[in-house]
Amino acid sequence: MIAIEGIALVPGSAAGEAVVIQTQQAGGSSLDETREAGKRFEDARHAAEAELRRRIETLADGAARQILRAHLALMADPILLAAVATHIATGLGALAAIGRARADLVARFEAFHDPVLRARAADLSDVCGYLARYFEEPQHAGGGVSGRVVCAEELSPAQLLAFAEEPPVAFALESRAGTSHAAILLRALGVPAMIGVERIVSLVRNGDRLLVDATRGRVILAPGADDEIDTAATSRVESDCGPARTRDGKPIAVTATIGGATDAHRAMIAGADGIGLFRTEWLFMRRERWPSEDEQFEAYHEVARLAKDRPVTVRIMDLGGDKLPPALALPAERNPALGLRGVRLALAYPDLLETQIRALVRAFGRALRMMLPMVNDPGEVLQVRRILDRVASGHYQVGAMIETPAAALMSTELAAVTDFLSLGTNDLTQYVLAADRESRIAATDQNPVHPAVLRLIRLAAADIVGADRPLSVCGEYARDPLVAPILVGMGVTELSVASDAIVATKRLVRGMSTATARLLGDELASLPTATAAADRLATGESGLDVHAPRDAR
Amino acid sequence: MYTRRVTLDNATGLHVRPATAFMELASRYRCGIRVAKGDIVADGKSAISLMLLEAGRGTALTIEGDGDDETEAVDALVGLVARQFADAGIP
C-alpha cells in the first residue's frame, strides 16, 4: 500500500479503477512539451486518417465517398498543419491547438460573401472534429469514467463539464489551483476530489485500483479491504433539511449550484432549499452538435422534477471565455475574459438563445427563474425579455448576475428591470482586481478578500436591498466560512453553494449574527490593503463564532 | 516560369471536391504551382489554400508553374478546370 498526501477539495472518499487523463491544456512552452504535443498531434492525425480510410472503404462510390476522400486530403493540408504547428509552438497542447486552428480557419470561411463557399467552413470543422475526437473519445482511457477514479495533472473546464452527466467516483489531480474555474466545477460535480496529489499521473496506470480518501487528505494506491471499510464509515452523505436563520433571526436560503440532474439529486438529498444556480453550459460543451429544443427540454425537465416545489434559478448559456462549445466555431480571442461571453454571446446568437428559452419555458412553466450572466446594464436584460415575450406571454422572473464592475455600479437600474439579482463573486473579483483567476502567477497574489471588492459589493447590495429585490451569492465566497457571513451582513439573503457544502453552510448561517457581520464588513472595507483585510479576518476577533457555531434552531 | 489563364465554369467554383482534385493533380508534379485570383495567391498544392481564394463560378484564375515540369503541370491543370473537373468524377 502506498499513500500519497494531497489537499481535499471535495470531501468524501471513494475507490475505483484509475483512468489517467493526459493534460491537453495550454502548458509550459518548453521544447520537450512542444515536441510531445507535436507527436500527439501526429498520432491523432494518423489515427483519424486510418479511421476515415476505413469508413471510405465501407461506402459505395458516390458523393459521400468523394466528400470523405476530400476530408482525408484536407487532414494533410499544409495550411492546416502549419496552423496547428504554430499554435503548438506557442505552448498549446495538441487538442487546444487543433481547436484554435479550427476556429481560425472556420472564421476565414465564414467571412466569405459567396454562400456556397462560405458553407465550406463546415468541412473544415468536420476535419478538425475527426482530429479532436482522438483526444475526446474516452476509449483511449479504456471506456467511460463512470465508477472509476480520474487522475490527471490538471483538467480544463471543458473536460470537467464533459463529466457532468456521468461523473467518475473521484478525482485525484496534481495541480493545486484551488481558486480556479476548474475547482469550482469540481465542487459542482460533488464527487470526492483531491488536488495537489504529486506525481499521481506518473505513479498510476490505467486500471490500477485507487482509493481517494479526501476526508483524510490522502490517495491510497492498491488499497487493502481494511482501508476501504475504514473510510466507508466516514463518507456517509450528510443531510440538513431544516431552515437556516441567523442568530438574530434573519432567514437565509442555502441553495445549490448544479450542472445537471446528477448534482440536483445530490443537492436535494443534502437538504438544499432550492437550486440557486443551474449552469446549463455542459449541455452545449459536450456535443459536436448544438442540442435541439427537445434535448434541452429533457435535461431541464429532469432538474425541475428533482427539485419538486423548491425554486430553481436557471442561468442561460454562459459560454465564451474559457468555455468554447465545440458546435459553435467561435473565433480565438486575444483576451477571452474580456471577449464575446455570457449574455453578450447569447445575444449574438439570438436563434440559439430563443431555442434555449423555449425549452426552459416548457420545462419550468410559470416557475421559471431565468438568470443572465455577465450583464453590464438594463439594455441586455430588456433584449432578453423581448425574446422571452416572443416565446411566451405573461410575466416570467428574470434576474441578472452582478459580476462585472459595471453591473455593480448600475445595480439600481438593473434592479428596476429584474426580479432578483445574484453576485458572481469569482468574476467580479477578477474584474475588479484585474487579476486572472486562471493565472497561477496572479492567483498567488490574491488574498481571500480585497477591500476594493468589499466596497463595491457593499455599494451594490445597498442599492439592491433599497430597491427591494432579493440578492444571492453564487460564487466561491458563498461557501467561504470567513467571507459568506460578511456578505449576509451586507444584505445577501441566499447563498448558493455546491451540494457538498450545503450542510456546513446552513450550520455557518445559524452561528452568525447579521449585525456583527455588518460591522466586520464595514471594518474590512475600510482597510487599506488586502493583506490587512486577510490579517484582520485571520485574527478571528469578529464575534462571528464561525469555528464553534451554536445551533439556533 | 509558365503561366496560363482559365475561367472556372463548373457549378460550385473551387469548392471542396474541385479544390481537392486540383490539389491532387498539382501534387503529381515537382514544380511549384501558384493560383491567383486578382491579387490573391494560393498554393496549388493546398486544397484549403485554394478554397480560401473564394473562387466561385465565373472567376478568372491565373495558374503559374515554376520548375522543370512547369509546362506539363500548368497545361494539365488548365485542362482539368476547363473540363469542369469532369475527369475527377465531379458532377
Q: Which residues pair with A141 in a beta bridge?
A: none
* Residue A404 pLDDT exceeds 80: yes
pLDDT of residue A21: 83
Q: Do B47 and A73 touch (CB under 8 A)?
A: yes
B58: left (phi over 0), alpha (psi -120 to 50) or beta: left
Q: Do B16 and A105 touch (CB under 8 A)?
A: no
Q: Are A241 and A171 in contact (CB under 8 A)?
A: no
The active-site residue out of B15, B34, B37, B45 is: B15
Q: Do A79 and B43 touch (CB under 8 A)?
A: yes
Quote the percentage of chain A above a pLDDT of 90.
Answer: 40
- Residues of the domain holding B54: 2-88
Question: What are the cell numbers at A131?
Answer: 482530429
Q: Could you tell me the residue ranges of all domains in chain A?
A: 2-23+153-232, 31-137, 244-539
The active-site residue out of A71, A181, A265, A547 is: A181
Give the lowest-confidence range in A40-49, A357-366, A539-548.
A539-548
* Residue A230 pLDDT exceeds 80: no
B31 to chain A, closest Cα gap in Å:
16
Higher pLDDT, A145 or A268: A268
Q: From the candidates A52, A72, A77, A110, which should be mutated to test the interface with B, based on the most B CB atoms within 10 A?
A: A77
The domain covering A31-137 belongs, at the CATH homologous superfamily level, to PtsI, HPr-binding domain (1.10.274.10)
- How far apart (Å, rounded) are the C-alpha atoms in residues A508 and B13? 68
Is A241 noted as a catalytic residue in this protein?
Answer: no
Among A210, A97, A227, CA closest to A152: A210
Work out the average pLDDT over A248-268: 91
Give the lowest-confidence range in A203-207, A411-415, B54-58.
A203-207
Domains A2-23+153-232 and A31-137 share a fold: no
pLDDT of residue A167: 82
* Residue A65 pLDDT exceeds 90: no
pLDDT of residue B7: 93
pLDDT of residue A540: 56
Higher pLDDT, A543 or A254: A254
- Can you tell me which residue has the cell 494560393? B42
Name chain A contacts of B14, Cβ cutoff 8 Å.
117
Confidence of residue A130 (pLDDT cuts 50, 70, 90): confident
* Residue A233 pLDDT exceeds 70: no
Does A115 lie at the interface with B, CB-CB under 8 angstroms?
no
Q: Do A78 and B51 touch (CB under 8 A)?
A: no
Work out the average pLDDT over A4-28: 75
A70 to chain B, closest Cα gap in Å:
6
Q: Which residues pair with B33 in a beta bridge?
A: B65
Give the lowest-confidence range in A123-137, A419-433, A463-477.
A123-137
Q: Residue B30's domain is classified under what CATH number? A: 3.30.1340.10
pLDDT of residue A482: 85
* Residue B68 pLDDT exceeds 50: yes
A320 to chain B, closest Cα gap in Å:
26
Q: Are A443 and A437 in contact (CB under 8 A)?
A: yes
Max Cα–Cα distance, chain A, nearest Å: 79
Does B90 lie at the interface with A, CB-CB under 8 angstroms?
yes
- How far apart (Å, rounded) are the C-alpha atoms in residues B46 and A260? 44
Name chain A contacts of B13, Cβ cutoff 8 Å.
114, 116-117
Name chain A contacts of B87, Cβ cutoff 8 Å.
none
- How far apart (Å, rounded) are the C-alpha atoms in residues B69 and A425? 66
pTM of this structure: 0.56
pLDDT of residue A55: 79
The interface predicted TM-score (ipTM) is 0.90
pLDDT of residue A30: 58
A100 to chain B, closest Cα gap in Å:
16
Give the lowest-confidence range in A68-82, A229-243, A506-520, A527-541.
A229-243
Among A311, A307, A329, A312, CA closest to A320: A329
Per-residue model confidence as pLDDT tens digits over B15-30: 888 999 999 999 999 9
CATH of A244-539, one of 3.90.550.10, 3.20.20.60, 1.10.240.10, 1.10.238.10: 3.20.20.60
- How far apart (Å, rounded) are the C-alpha atoms in residues A70 and A7? 50
Q: From the candidates A72, A109, A120, which should be mutated to test the interface with B, based on the most B CB atoms within 10 A?
A: A120
Phi, psi of A312 (to 5 degrees): -125, 120
The active-site residue out of A71, A87, A151, A474 is: A474
Is B40 noted as a catalytic residue in this protein?
Answer: no
Pick the most confident of A17-21, A64-68, A247-251.
A247-251
- Side by side, the strands of the sheet bearing B32-37 are B2-7, B60-66, B32-37, B40-43
Confidence of residue A551 (pLDDT cuts 50, 70, 90): very low
pLDDT of residue A505: 94
Highest CATH level, class, for A2-23+153-232:
alpha beta
Total domain count, chain B: 1
A474 to chain B, closest Cα gap in Å:
45
A293-307 and A261-270 are packed helices; what angle lies between their axes, rounded to 10 degrees?
10
* Residue A106 pLDDT exceeds 50: yes
Does B16 lie at the interface with A, CB-CB under 8 angstroms?
yes
Does B59 lie at the interface with A, CB-CB under 8 angstroms?
no
* Residue B11 pLDDT exceeds 50: yes
